[in-house]
Amino acid sequence: MKKDIERIADGGSGIRFVIGDYGSGKTFFLNLVREMALSRKLVTVHCDLSSARRLYSTGGQARALYSELMRNMSTRSSPDGGALPALVERFVAGALAEAESTSADVNSVIASRVAALSELVGGYDFGAVVAAYWRGYDAGDDELRSNAIRWLRGEFSTKTEARQALGIRTIVSDNSFYDHLKLLGRFCRLAGFDGLLVCLDEMVSIYMLQNAQARRGNYEQLLRIVNDSIQGISRGIGFLAAGTLEFLQDPRRGVYSHEALSSRLAENTFAVDGLVDHSGPVIRLQSLTPEDLFVLLEKVRDVYTSGREETITVTSEVIEAFMGHCMNRIGEAYFRTPRTTIMAFVDLLAVLEQNPDVSWQTILTGVDVHADSGGNPIAGEEFDVDGQEGTVNDGLARFKL
C-alpha cells in the first residue's frame, strides 16, 4: 500500500480489494492506509456502502454515495472530514499567489488552471463552479460560495436548482458519479495536494442486493473503475475497497459472477503453500498468530486499565490463561477474527473490575460456550455456569455469567 500511495502521488492510479472475514480488521486496515495517505499529502474520502449508497443506481443512491464521500473528505490539517471548502480555498489562494507574482489577472489565472479539467467529462462545468466560488470569495458573497460548495458536494437534486443558484446546467448525478471523482482527483493536484484516495468499506452491500440487475449495474461500474485504474487512464486517484470472501468469490452473486471482473481480479495461481504475491489487486487479510494476539491483548489491557491499576490487575498470566481458555473451549477458529477476541477480553476485564472479590480463575473455569466455525458463540446454544443453565442470547463473543 505504501508503494500504491507513492504511485498515486506521482500522478498514477491504482485499486486494491481488501478481503477478509467479518471482524478480521478490514476497517482498521482502511483507516491505517488513510493515515498513511494523509501523511503523504494526499486527500482522502471514505464511506460505507449500503442499500442507500451504491456505485450505480437510478434512484439517487450513487449521488448519495458521492455526497457522503465529500462530507468525509480529509486532509492532513482536517483529518476528521469536512475538508472540501478548505481544498477549494487552497486552490484559490494558490491562484492569488500566482497572480500577484506574475502581475496577472486572478480570473485569467483561475481560468488557465481549471482549463486542464476540460478534457474530462464534466470538466468545463466543474471549472465554472470553481470560478463561481472565486467570484463569491472576491465579492464577499457567502451565498454564492455556499452554493458552489453545495454543487461540488453533489447536494443539488435538480438541474433547475443548480441553474438558478450558479448558472450551471448540470449536476452531480447517478450517471456522473465516477466522472466527478476523477475530476476531484485532478483538482486535488491543482490545489497543491498529491492526489486522492477513495476508501469504500462494506462492499458486501453490493453482494447482498436482491435485484440481479442492480448487482450487475454495480459490477459494471466497478469494472470501469478497475479498467481505468489498471490501464492508467485515471491520474492521481486510487481506490481501496473492503469486502468479505463471499463478496469476491461467490460464483452466483459475487464479483466473480461477472466474467470480466473475475479475469481481472483472479489471484496468482503460483502463490500457494505459504507463498504470497502482493502485486495483484486483491489483498487477503491473514489471521493473527497467537503471538500477535498476545501482544494485542497486552495493549488492550494497558488502555483499559490506564489510571485504574489499583482496581484491576491483569498480568501476562491472565492473558495466557484467557487465550488457553479460548483455545480449549472454542478452538483455533476463535482467533481468526480480532474483533471477537478483543470483545471477549474486554468483557473479562469489565467483570474483573466490577467484581473484585472474584478471581479470574473462577471466571474462566465457569464459562462454557459453544462456538460456530467462525469462533462466534451460537445464539440459543445451551451453556452451564456454576450449575446454572441458560442460553446464549448474543451472537457476539460475550461471557455469560
Q: Among 252, 282, 312, give the residue marking a domain's end.
A: 282
Note whether 350 and 311 are within 8 A (CB). Answer: no
| Residue 41, all three cell numbers | 499529502
pLDDT of 382 reads: 44
- Considering the domain architecture, whether residues 140 and 13 belong to the same structural domain is answered as yes
| Residue 377 included in any domain | yes
Place of cell 466473480: 256
Note whether 369 and 392 are within 8 A (CB). Answer: yes
Q: How far apart are CA 126 and CA 91, in angstroms?
A: 13
For the entire predicted model, the pTM comes to 0.84
**283 beta partners:** 18
- Considering the domain architecture, whether residues 306 and 239 belong to the same structural domain is answered as no
Average pLDDT estimate for 318-327: 85
- Considering the domain architecture, whether residues 252 and 381 belong to the same structural domain is answered as no
| Residue 152 included in any domain | yes
- Considering the domain architecture, whether residues 241 and 317 belong to the same structural domain is answered as no
- Considering the domain architecture, whether residues 153 and 20 belong to the same structural domain is answered as yes
> Residue 103 corresponds to which amino acid?
S
What is the band of 21 on the pLDDT scale with cuts at 50, 70, 90? confident
- pLDDT tens profile 223-244: 999 999 998 888 899 999 999 9
Q: Which whole-number Å values give the CA distances from 211 to 182, 246, 295, in the listed order?
A: 28, 17, 44
Average pLDDT score, the chain? 86
356: containing domain: 290-391
**47 beta partners:** 200
Q: Among 282, 308, 325, give the residue marking a domain's end.
A: 282
CA atoms in the 13 A half-sphere facing the CB of 343: 17
| Residue 401 included in any domain | no
Note whether 57 and 215 are within 8 A (CB). Answer: no
Stretch among 190-199, 263-272, 298-307, 329-338 having the lowest mean pLDDT: 329-338
Output the CA torsion sign for 213, 219, 222, 224.
Answer: negative
- Considering the domain architecture, whether residues 199 and 254 belong to the same structural domain is answered as yes
- Considering the domain architecture, whether residues 150 and 247 belong to the same structural domain is answered as yes
Best CA proximity match to 195, nearest among 14, 355, 332, 352: 14
pLDDT of 375 reads: 45
Q: Number of structural domains, the chain?
A: 2
Best CA proximity match to 84, nearest among 75, 96, 95: 75
| Residue 396 included in any domain | no
- Considering the domain architecture, whether residues 97 and 181 belong to the same structural domain is answered as yes
Local structure of residue 49 (DSSP, 8 states): -
- Considering the domain architecture, whether residues 383 and 269 belong to the same structural domain is answered as no
What is the band of 391 on the pLDDT scale with cuts at 50, 70, 90? very low
Nearest-10 crossing angle of helices 212-231, 177-190: 30
